[in-house]
């Protein structure tokens, strides 16, 4: 496929067409999913859990994220690469700029950061200097200790209104994408409808412009209990490529996520 750009993703949103995102941490999987038609690869700090075996994403370092971003860039065949800025690497606008530069130099096309309106200055600084940003709202795993666990966010009126305002302010600051994690479907639908930028969902219902899953979850190989919003796409498939193609098909035809995978 031709190289995917932010313009590609915005055009898909405007046309009412879904796009797909999966995590990858190495060249082999990056090659496999980009040639299968995945539009965006997320080099997620989820690697701290699925690769390193940690109980959260907090131990992941910037150097580790840069290493895995370089690996993904080596195997990628035209997908956009989004890389997570890990815990406490963007506490100030200046630190955010320095950290983002390292991931962009490693091969990322944009960076993702977790948090609300307090990130507006950092996002504006990055955007004006040519670094696209995806703002991550809802369940933000790096704040799991403050949130009291991995829980759905935005369930009451005040927190829902706060998230709507955060989304508006971060888009205004220059965010190129939004990602909503573990958010009630109706709230995610409202944010998506009001945003002019593409919105990616994970556990945020079917109305977002795109869906993202952790690779290990969608292949059904994550140890222990898997989140409600995931689905084992390997079930009934005889190859990993087949599972990825099935994921792409179900996202684009609207059958994933179903009500069973939504809040």
Q: What are the tens digits of pLDDT across the range 5-24?
A: 999 999 999 999 999 999 99
63 a catalytic residue: no
Selected catalytic residue, list 63, 124, 162, 181: 181
Q: How far apart are CA 138 and CA 115, in angstroms?
A: 8
- Residue 2: what pLDDT? 79
- Residue 226: what pLDDT? 85
Using CA atoms, how far residue 101 sits from 29, 78, 129, 140, 171, in Å, is: 24, 21, 10, 22, 21
Three-class secondary structure of residue 43 per DSSP: strand
CATH of domain 6-261: 3.20.20.60
Greatest distance between any 2 Cα atoms in the chain = 48
Mean pLDDT of the region 100-105: 98
**Res 65 pLDDT > 70:** yes
**Res 31 pLDDT > 70:** yes
Q: What is the pLDDT of residues 142-166, one digit of tens each?
A: 998 988 888 899 999 999 999 999 9
Of 151-155, 181-185, 200-204, which range is least confident?
151-155
Q: Enumerate the known binding-site residues for Mg(2+).
A: 45, 84, 114
- Residue 224: what pLDDT? 86
Q: Enumerate the known binding-site residues.
A: 45-46, 84, 112, 114
Q: How far apart are CA 148 and CA 130, in angstroms?
A: 35
Using CA atoms, how far residue 63 sits from 24, 50, 194, 216, in Å, is: 17, 17, 36, 22
**Res 36 pLDDT > 80:** yes
Average pLDDT in the chain: 96
**pLDDT-above-70 percentage for the chain:** 100
- Residue 125: what pLDDT? 97
pTM over cut 0.85 = yes
**Could you tell me which residues come within 8 angstroms of residue 255 by beta carbon, excluding any fewer than 6 positions away?**
none
């Amino acid at each position: 496929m031709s190289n995917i750009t932010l313009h590609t993703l915005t055009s898909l949103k405007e046309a009412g067409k879904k796009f797909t995102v999966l995590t990858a941490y190495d060249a082999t999987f990056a090659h496999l999913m980009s040639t299968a038609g995945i539009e965006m690869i997320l080099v997620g700090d989820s690697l701290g859990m699925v690769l390193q075996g940690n109980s959260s994403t907090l131990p992941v370092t910037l150097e580790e994220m840069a290493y895995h971003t370089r690996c993904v860039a080596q195997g990628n065949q035209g997908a956009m690469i989004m890389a997570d800025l890990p815990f406490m690497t963007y506490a100030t606008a200046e630190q955010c700029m320095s950290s983002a530069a390292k991931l962009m130099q490693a091969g990322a096309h944009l960076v993702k950061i977790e948090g609300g309106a307090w990130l507006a200055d950092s996002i504006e600084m990055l955007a004006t200097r040519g670094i696209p940003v995806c703002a991550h709202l809802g369940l933000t795993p790096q704040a799991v200790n403050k949130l009291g666990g991995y829980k759905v966010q935005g369930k009451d009126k005040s927190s829902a209104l706060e998230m709507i305002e955060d989304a508006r302010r971060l888009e205004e600051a220059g965010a190129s994408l939004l990602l909503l994690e573990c958010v009630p479907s109706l709230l995610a639908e409202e944010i998506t409808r009001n945003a002019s930028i593409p919105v990616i969902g994970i556990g945020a219902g079917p109305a977002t412009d795109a869906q993202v899953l952790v690779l290990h979850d969608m292949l059904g190989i994550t140890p222990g209990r898997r989140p409600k919003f995931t689905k084992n796409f390997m079930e009934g498939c005889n190859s990993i490529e087949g599972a990825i193609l099935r994921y792409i098909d179900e996202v684009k035809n609207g059958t994933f996520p179903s009500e069973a995978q939504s809040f």
